[in-house]
């Protein structure tokens, strides 16, 4: 089981290396308030590259990898373990899958909270006024600076919102991936009468469907989490919600949806495909 958990963490980290620029664009779109003209995803990436070079779109990658090896590893690993324990004759009921995904998501949100704070701050630093920038060089030095300057309690900044988002994400992404995968395997597509098999194509289709579901469900909590973690002052989720609704309207809850979807869709595809291939590769090595 430990090997499976490690494979999940590695697969999530590999996927993050491809989709990190979209994560950066999402955080920056979510961070801006009503006083700033709403930037598009392409404009954010273009401005970053033209001003700081192509490497700038990978700002905060070290924090992203820390996040994958804490948040993703715990939420995916604990989900797989709970799913294994809950199996009855090799079958899982939808209710049990949702329960396992919710609990695992909450655990992942708690484990990955410090890395999430660093990721939000590092990816949004360049759009802050110079005097308000954190200037973390990488995830490790950022973690040390965070504790040194704001105390150990700062590691729990936005924890409630982050755990809520993680529960929603795991339920809507991981739980729905298993649902879509099993449904597509058991039922041919109407009209064309196409029957899926356990293959790369099935993993891609189920992952895209799960990514779309996860992006939409998690967007409001994701925006609030980003704004709380990006601030060095005290901010309660309800205060952020009320102020943002008053100043920007309900549409603020879906700021950054496009890059979030463009990130989560491929990220989900890459993560599960990498995981499936790592699993098959290990099975091949052990058999050989």
pLDDT, average across residues 86-92: 69
Are 75 and 104 spatial neighbours (Cβ–Cβ below 8 Å)? yes
pLDDT tens readout for residues 221-245: 999 999 899 887 777 888 889 988 9
Residue 283 confidence class, pLDDT cut points 50, 70, 90: low
- 220 exposed, middle or buried (CB, 10 Å; 0-12, 13-18, 19+)? buried
% of the chain at pLDDT higher than 70? 90
Please state the domain extents for the chain: 2-287
Distance of CA 192 to the CA centre of its chain: 34
Give me the pLDDT at residue 281, please. 64
Closest to 263 measured CA to CA, from 197, 192, 190, 214 = 214
Closest to 36 measured CA to CA, from 135, 231, 44 = 44
Residue 90 confidence class, pLDDT cut points 50, 70, 90: low
**Higher-pLDDT residue of 103, 260:** 103
Q: How far is CA 118 from CA 158, 165, 172, 185, in A?
A: 12, 17, 25, 40
Residue 36 confidence class, pLDDT cut points 50, 70, 90: low
Mean pLDDT highest for which of 13-17, 25-29, 138-142, 175-179? 138-142
pLDDT tens readout for residues 175-220: 788 788 888 888 877 656 788 888 878 878 888 888 888 888 889 9
Closest to 269 measured CA to CA, from 189, 166, 173 = 173
pTM: 0.80
User: Does the pLDDT at position 65 exceed 90?
Assistant: yes
User: Does the pLDDT at position 288 exceed 50?
Assistant: no
pLDDT, average across residues 128-143: 93
In words, the CATH class of domain 2-287 is: mainly alpha
Provide the mean pLDDT of the chain.
Answer: 85
- SS3 call for 189: strand
**Please, what is the angle between helix 94-111 and helix 159-169, to 10°?**
150
């Amino acid at each position: 089981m430990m090997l499976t958990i490690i494979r999940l963490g590695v697969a999530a980290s590999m996927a993050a290396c491809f989709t990190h620029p979209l994560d950066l664009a999402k955080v920056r779109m979510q961070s801006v308030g009503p006083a700033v003209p709403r930037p598009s995803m392409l404009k954010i990436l273009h401005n970053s590259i033209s001003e700081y070079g192509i490497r700038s779109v990978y700002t905060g990658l070290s924090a992203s990898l820390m996040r994958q090896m804490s948040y993703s590893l715990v939420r995916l690993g604990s989900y797989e373990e709970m799913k294994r324990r809950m199996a009855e004759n090799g079958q899982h009921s939808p209710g049990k899958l949702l329960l396992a995904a919710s609990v695992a998501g909450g655990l992942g949100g708690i484990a990955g909270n410090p890395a999430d704070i660093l990721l939000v701050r590092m990816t949004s630093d360049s759009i802050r006024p110079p005097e308000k920038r954190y200037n973390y060089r990488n995830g490790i030095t950022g973690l040390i600076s965070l504790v040194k300057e704001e105390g150990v309690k700062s590691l729990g900044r936005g924890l409630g919102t982050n755990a809520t988002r993680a529960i929603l994400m795991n339920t809507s992404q991981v739980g729905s991936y298993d649902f879509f995968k099993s449904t597509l395997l058991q039922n041919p597509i109407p009209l064309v009468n196409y029957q899926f098999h356990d293959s790369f194509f099935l993993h891609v289709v189920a992952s895209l469907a799960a990514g779309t579901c996860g992006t939409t469900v998690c967007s409001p909590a994701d925006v609030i989490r980003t704004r709380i973690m990006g601030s060095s002052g005290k901010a309660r989720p309800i205060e952020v919600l009320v102020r943002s609704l008053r100043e920007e309207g309900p549409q603020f809850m879906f700021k950054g949806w496009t890059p979030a979807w463009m990130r989560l869709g491929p990220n989900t595809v890459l993560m599960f495909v990498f995981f499936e291939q790592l699993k098959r590769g290990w099975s091949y090595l052990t058999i050989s």
